[in-house]
Amino acid sequence: MEISETQNKMVPPRHIAIIMDGNGRWAEQHGYLRVKGHEVGAETVDRMVSACAEIGVEVLTLYAFSSENWQRPALEVAALMRLLRHYLRRETKRLIEKNIRLRAIGRLERLDSAVRKELEEACRKTSSGSGMILNLAISYGGRDEICDAAAAICREVQSGKYTCDEVDEKLINAHLDTSGLPDPDIMIRTGGEFRISNFLLWQLAYAELYFSDTLWPDFSKDELLRIIDDFQQRERRFGRVIERGKYERDR
Ligand code: IPE
Ligand code: IPE
Ligand code: MG
């Protein structure tokens, strides 16, 4: 399927969020160590970043490492961090060429200093990109993020900047790591599990959810385009009764 076939029907989704799951199982199925699955999974990242930028998606959020993934064996965590550094080193130039701006969400202070430095560097070097935002969720947990936002708001209430009555959706949004980004329109999880695993708990309130059995290293542009095509047929009501053909939330 060509991009234009999908694109012509309607505007592309503004924000796609993906739980990239199934690397370990892919490796096991092919007789490799889990780390090999993560390496091949990084190639899928390249393909999806290019495809989403081409389609005209504004934000692509990729769940790369969860707050719970710190509990994995130290060797696997170290391998994932090494891969992340390699990815950033290798891809920064290409992101700049594609006018993509890198951003990261999560408790980045938990990353070791070399990884954090590489990440900050990549974000800085791509900061003038005016095309797609590639938003990497690293050491990220939705509950952590909400706790951090709540704590920050409490401090501001204490200091007299806001009153408790002024705490609303908008203020909470502004204190989340994703501040300034639109909510995801589509959330895709590969790897066959039907769960959210602490991903964007607040932001996914009205996302359209897609669960694919495909393991992340095998996930293709074609499958992404089929999902976008399906998304464009869905009627998003946001709790209302709406006129036929009116899909967009108008607030
Ligand atoms: C997703 O693949 C990548 C990360 C969580 C970092 P997994 O490593 O969870 O792969 P499976 O689920 O064990 O197959
Ligand atoms: C979710 O996958 C986290 C990432 C893809 C980064 P997991 O493999 O860690 O999730 P669970 O353990 O199956 O819920
Ligand atoms: Mg998994």
Q: Which residues contact 101 (CB under 8 A, 6 or more apart)?
A: 95, 126, 127, 128, 129, 130, 131, 132, 133, 134
Q: How far away, in angstroms, is 197 Cα from ligand 2 center? A: 6
Tokens 């080193």 identify what position?
89
Q: Which CATH number fits domain 12-141+183-231: 3.30.43.10, 3.40.640.10, 3.40.1180.10, 3.90.550.10?
A: 3.40.1180.10
Q: How far away, in angstroms, is 48 Cα from ligand 3 center? A: 19
Encode pLDDT of 21-69 as tens digits.
Answer: 999 999 999 999 999 999 999 999 999 999 999 999 999 999 999 999 9
Cβ contact 58:129 at 8 Å: no
Q: Report whether residue 22 contacts ligand 1, using a CB cutoff of 6 Å.
A: yes
* pLDDT value at 174 more than 60: yes
pTM (2 d.p.) = 0.94
Ligand nearest to the CA of 37: 1
| Separation of alpha carbons 204 and 99, rounded Å | 26
Encode pLDDT of 214-249 as tens digits.
Answer: 999 999 999 999 999 999 999 999 999 976 655 555
Q: How many CB atoms lie within 10 A of CB 135?
A: 21
Q: Report whether residue 69 contacts ligand 2, using a CB cutoff of 6 Å.
A: yes
> Would you call 211 helix, strand, or coil by DSSP?
strand
Q: How far away, in angstroms, is 34 Cα from ligand 2 center? A: 14
Average confidence (pLDDT) over 138-159: 98
Q: How many CB atoms lie within 10 A of CB 147?
A: 11
Residue 247: per-residue pLDDT? 54
Nearest to 14 by CA among 61, 46, 79: 61
pLDDT band for position 10 (cuts 50, 70, 90): confident
Pairing of strands 101-105, 133-140: parallel
Q: Report whether residue 70 contacts ligand 2, using a CB cutoff of 6 Å.
A: no
Encode pLDDT of 77-126 as tens digits.
Answer: 999 999 999 999 999 999 999 999 999 999 999 999 999 999 999 999 99
